Structure formats: C-alpha cells, structure tokens
Amino acid sequence: MQTKTFSTDLGGKTLTAEFSDLTDQANGSVLLRLGETAVLVTAVMGRENPNVSYFPLSVEFEEKFYAAGAILGSRFMRREGRPSEEAVLSARIVDRTIRPLFDHSMRNDIQVVITVLAMGEDDPDVLGVIGASLALSVSDIPWNGPVGAVRIARERESGAIVINPTYVERAENKLDFEVLACGKDNTINMIETAADEIAEADIISIFEASIKLHKVIEDFQKEIVSQIGKEKKVLAEKVTYDVVTNLFKSTYQTKLSETLFSGKAGKDHLHELKDEFIKAVAEIDETVPVSYISDFYETAVDKELHRGALEENKRADGRGMDEVRSLFAKAGGVSPVLHGSGIFYRGGTHIFTALTLAGPDAAQLIDTIEDQDANKRFIHHYNFPPFSVGETGRVGGFNRRMIGHGALAEKALAPMIPDKKDFPYTIRLVSETLSSNGSSSMGSVCGSTLALMDGGVPMKRPVAGIASGVMIDGERYALLTDIQGPEDEHGDMDFKVAGTTEGVTAIQMDVKVDGVPIHILAGALEKAKQARLQILEVINKEIAEPRADISPRAPKIISLNILPEQIGLVIGSGGKTINGIKDDTGVEEITIEEDGTVYITGRDGTAEIAADKILALTKIYTVGDKVSEAKVTRIATFGAFVKLDAFNEGLIHVSEIAPFRIDNVEDVLKEGDTVPVVVCKVEDGKIGVSLKQADPEYAERKGIKKPTPRQPKTD
C-alpha cells in the first residue's frame, strides 16, 4: 500500500489528507481525518452520455453504522438502509458547493461518494466538502476548484468565536448561531446558517471570517495538487449548428425578449416559445438534435434575463427590483379537526400548513451514527406534489429536495418554538405546496407561523422568509427581491433568508456562478430584511398573537414534579403501578423524565384524574398536614389505621383519639368511619396521625364521657 500524507491546522486541530492506492479504480480519492472523524471521498467520471439533456452529477453521503462503533438499525435489520435525513442534508451541502464549478455542458456522469468511516466529535459534513474538493482537484476530471469549507459559531454568553464546533458544543445550547460557508477566491458559493435572531451585520462579519479560513484550506489543497494532481481530461469540442444560431438571431431573439419581459409570471409562455423554436429549426434541418436546440434556447433566456436586469433594470414579470409579489395570509378556518392551520400566498406560490399536537411520547426517536436515542419534539415536513407546478407524476413519498426544504423551514422556526418546560407538546407541522412559482420553502415558513399561532402554540415571535437573487456580469450586478419563474431558474443566486422582526433565524444559499462577493451578500441581506418585515406585517394583521388556548381537539398535558427517588414508586414493579393508573383513568400517555418531571397527556379530564393519583401516590406527609376525611380501615388494641389517600395509610394511636384516656378504641371508632386527622409523627416511612388535634370533641360526641376531675381531699 502506497500512501502520501499532507496535514494543516484547521481551527486548532490537525486536518490530515491521505492519498493511497486503496481506491485506485476511482479518478480521484482522499481519506480525510479531523480529530477522530474520518471520511473517504471518491470521485468518478463515466463515459459521455449524449442522450441526457442535463449535467449528470450525483453526490452520495454514506453513513456506516460501524463508524459510530455501534450496531444500529432496527431489531430485525442491522444493515444500513436508506440514508438518514442528516445524510441527505450533508449530501446536498456538498452537491450545492461543487456543482457550480463544473462545465454544465458536460454529459459525462460524475459521481462523488462520501463514506463516513469513523465518527468522532467533529461533523463529517465539512470534511465531506473539503474531501470532495480534494478528490476532484487531484483527479483528471475537469473541475474549477478547489473550494474551502468551514463551520463558524458564536458562544451566546461570551461572544467568543468557535471554529468547527463539536457535536457536544452544538448540543449544549450555548451557541446563538452557526454558519457553514463554502467558497473560493474570496467569494462564497454555499451557505447554511442556523441563528437565534442575529443581526445582519454580525452575519456578514462571520462571512468575512469564513473567507479567510477558506484561503488557508484552498492553499493547502493547491499545494497537494501541485505535487500529485493529474492532468485534466480535455472534453470533446461541442458541435455547433449555424442554422440554430441564424434562425434565432433573425426571428426569435426579438420574440424572446418580448415574451420574457411581457409582465407574465411563471415560465409557461417561455416554454411555448421554446416549442415553437424547436419546431421551426426541425422544419429547416431535422438532423439537429432537440437537446442542442433546447440548450441553446435556455442559454439565450439566461443571457436576455441578465441583460434586461443589468442594462434596463427590468424583471420578467414587470415588478420593481425590490418589489414583493402580492401577499395573502389566513390563520385557521379549514376544519375544527385540525389543531391549527395556515394558508399563505406570495404571488403564484401558495402554501397550506397543518399543525398537530401530541404528548412527549410522540417525539421522533433519532438513532443514527450522529444521534443515538435522541428525541425530536419539533418536526416540520414539506411536500411538493406534481400538480403544484401543473405537471403529472408520482404522488406520495419524498425526495432529497423535500427533505432539504423541510429542514430549512424547521431550522428557521426552531428558535421561536417554546421550551419543553413551558409547552411540553410534540409539535408536527406539514407544509403542502399547492402552487409553486419561486421559494416554496420560505412560503412554508410563513404558512407554518400562521398554523402555530392559530393552534395556540406560544411561539416567541412570528417568523417569515423570502428568497432573493442576483444577476452578475463581471463587476456589474443587480439584486432581485422575491425571485420567481425564470429568475429562479436562470439567476446566479438563490439566497433564502428567514427571521423575525428582531433578526435572522436561518439562511440557505446556493449559486450558479463560481461564487458571490461579500458586498453583494450584504446588500441581499438588507433587501431580504425589508421584504421580511413587509411579510410579517401581513401575518400580524391576520393574527397578532397566538390564540389564548390550544384547540379543544388537541390533548391536554399536565406537568408535575416528583422526587427522582419516587420514579420507581410511580412505575411500580414491571410497570404495574403506572399501567394501572393509565387503565383506571384512560389517559393517553404518562411520561417520566430522569429529573422527576412527569407529563400526563389525556382528553376529557382524564389527565387531571391521573395527576391527582400520582400526586397522592408521591405525597410526602409532614407534621402538621391535615386530612379532612381519613377512612378507618382496621381496628387494633393500640389504635386505628386510617386511609389518608389512595396510597398512604396512617395510625391513630389510642392516645391520639381523644384528649383524655380511652380504654377501648372500638368505643369511639369503627371500620368505615371517616374522621379528620392531623399528621403528628413521621418516622421511617410510617405516619402517625391525631384525631384529638383535628377534632378534640369527637369522642364526646360518640358518647364517651370525659372523666370528672378528682376533688381534692379536705380535713
């Protein structure tokens, strides 16, 4: 085995890249280590496939159970199955970073596979990006890299910056934001940000810090390429057809401009012109491939869209550069069955979101190499049916795009979700994209805010989101607020920003150019803020604050606290006690945390009944406590046993029955009697109670005469 190793410092840790013949059939590969985390990245280019009409790049992120040193999976399936959502999101991060740096006229299959070999405290997604960059850079695959990648976070209290925070640091809730940024040559081409209402200026400062770290990583890779990099393959020169160029210039260039800037939203009118153009070319020369005509037309749309924005300040649908499309918001009103719902329109993008509330036991159990036995109590799912874009296709299931958009909206809303101690419900939101024309993920944020507030979830503040774009030509650029249709498809940037009136909660960016300079991102952030505030005004007019109560159709949750040492008492041997309480009361679930917090979920008053039973079971009696109705259960010569509640018993000693001597207990008390008592003694778990302290005259009322005091003798 032949190896060559290179190392550099990354955030105070050693980043090691090892190249060997371990995967010598791949065009390029690298084994990358940071701390105890190790990933193997391979890049392979297949033969040219002229039958495809797009650039065929695929990125796979493989999580192996052995990487966590654990046998994971279900009880019946110990083999890795479909990728986890975290793996899908990591693959998307790598894809969105490397894709813009390929020549998209390529028709060779390119596949990058990131295999997590060992899972330490460092997230493999950053290593996945750097590894993909290295594998492609040292290979013979044509690619315009390398790129750098880094995650930067800030401590909430101290304000200290943390480079590539570990899983432990991220889980402790001590960070108020984290930014994963990728890029090259002092520009950024991929951003993932999770934040707790952070100011735009603070985010820009982190972008600037990211660029400095990118340069270190880029220089490290360039040195490696200079030593072991292969010569890049030269792609075959593409065939051109003059008939297409000539027909377009003579007849369709003006038509395209008129159609593109007709003020219509969407792309249907552009598709109609495209079909006409393809047919016209075929009538002249039927040997021209349709894929060539299609690519030529889409390139022409791209150029004309840029020209209009940069030279004439024009947009395809006729809006101003900063103008947001028409807005509509509705909270509730769909059906009382739903625990909450929201409908949000932004132009041709229409979102319906439904809220469902359940008890803590409904939380999603996460069991992956990154998180094991973790419970997720806030869930957002996103659906994109084919009819939302006027197409037919497979209905049901989900794909990578749905997972990515759902996670983005979830990340945007998460900082505003109340803490479990204040609102112990499991919260699930489902956003249905019913009509799509640009940034349905940000529409989902708005629809979800409406549904949460309609459902009475006490979220801290409403959240809204918007997507911005940019058209770049050299040093010239034009920013576009609320991109749609052809701007979304042909623009150079898709910059999604979500947040509240106080600050940003999430950012996601991908580009079609090599990268975007910081000053453009700063301008886009400011325009996104103005649009976000405009949307929040519309939401607040519809519903100013969360409804006072949750839906009557939602279960009620009562929380109470017991001592940790009482947990076993409540559960009982083999769960007998807790299951008995469930059966007797009809509650849906009883959840007990390690610290003794108990959550009782039920409907129609069942939760209150179960809570009373648990409080009675775990009640700790102290001297002076009063019980107004203690039932006598057994008589003994030395006193009477009484039932204080469903689970506790006390003893009235004969001396505590009356304020005078009682010769026979049964003269005063009988089984079944109900008497008031006061706790007078607690020792070794046994409770002594007094009847005479609670009711000194009780014995006399039962016919027992108080002894007459002896008269003093006289001489």
Residue range 123-138: mean pLDDT, rounded: 97
Alpha carbon separation from 572 to 211, 334, 563, 576 (Å, rounded): 58, 44, 15, 5
Q: What pLDDT score was predicted for residue 29?
A: 97
**pLDDT value, residue 86:** 93
Q: pLDDT digits over 112-122, tens only? A: 999 999 999 99
**Predicted confidence band at 603 (pLDDT cuts at 50, 70, 90)?**
very high
The secondary element (H helix, E strand) that includes residue 568 is helix 567-571
Handedness of CA 266, 269, 270, 274 (dihedral sign): positive
Q: What is the CATH number of domain 3-228?
A: 3.30.230.70
Instruction: Assign 528 to helix, strand or coil.
Output: helix
Mean pLDDT across 633-638: 93
pLDDT of residue 711: 61
**So what's the pLDDT on residue 646?**
78
Over range 528-543, report the average pLDDT: 98
144 has a pLDDT exceeding 90: yes
Mean pLDDT for the chain? 93
Which residue would you say has higher pLDDT here, 256 or 71?
Answer: 256
**What are the tokens at 165?**
């925070």
| Res 71: pLDDT | 82
**What pLDDT is stored for residue 405 in this prediction?**
96
Per-residue confidence (pLDDT) for residue 712, from 0 to 100: 63
* CATH fold match for the domains 327-542 and 556-618: no
Specify the pLDDT at position 52. 83
Asked if pLDDT for residue 625 goes beyond 80, the answer is: yes
Instruction: Please state, in angstroms and rounded to a whole number, the distance separating the CA atoms of residues 408 and 466.
Output: 12
Is the pLDDT reported for residue 411 higher than 90? yes
**pLDDT over 80 at 623, yes or no:** yes
Whether the predicted pLDDT of 541 surpasses 60: yes
Q: Residue 301 and residue 295: Cα distance in Å, rounded?
A: 10
Q: What is the enclosing helix (H) or strand (E) of 188?
A: strand 187-198
The pLDDT, as a whole number, for residue 313 is 95
Dist CA 372 CA 171 (whole Å): 13
- Highest mean pLDDT pick, 163-167, 286-290, 485-489, 517-521: 517-521
CA distance 323 to 303: 22
In angstroms, rounded to a whole number, what is the distance separating the alpha carbons of residues 115 and 63? 6
For 122, the token pair is 């460092």
pLDDT-derived band at 709, boundaries 50, 70, 90: low
Domain 327-542 has CATH 2.60.120.380: no
Per-residue pLDDT at 5 exceeds 90: yes
| Predicted pLDDT of residue 26 | 97
Higher-pLDDT residue of 335 and 65 is: 335
Architecture of domain 556-618: 2-Layer Sandwich (3.30)
Query: How far, CA to CA in Å, does 657 sit from each of 70, 529, 700?
Result: 64, 75, 11
pLDDT at 116: 96
The pLDDT tens digits for 607-618 are 999 999 999 889
**Amino acid 50: pLDDT:** 78
As a CATH number, domain 626-701 is 2.40.50.140
Domain ranges, ordered by start, for the chain:
3-228, 242-312, 327-542, 556-618, 626-701
373: part of which helix (H) or strand (E)? Answer: strand 372-376
Reply yes or no on whether the pLDDT at 583 is more than 70: yes
Which comes out higher in pLDDT, residue 73 or 234?
234
Sorted by sequence, the CB contacts under 8 Å of residue 195 that are 6+ apart come out as: 176, 177, 178, 203, 415, 499, 503, 504, 505, 506, 507
Q: What global pTM score does this model have?
A: 0.89
Kindly report, residue by residue over 426-467, the tens digit of the pLDDT: 999 999 999 999 899 999 999 999 999 999 999 999 999 999
Q: Which pLDDT does position 685 carry in this prediction?
A: 79
Q: Element (H or E) spanning 208, and its range? A: helix 200-228
Q: Which two tokens stand for residue 195?
A: 């934040």
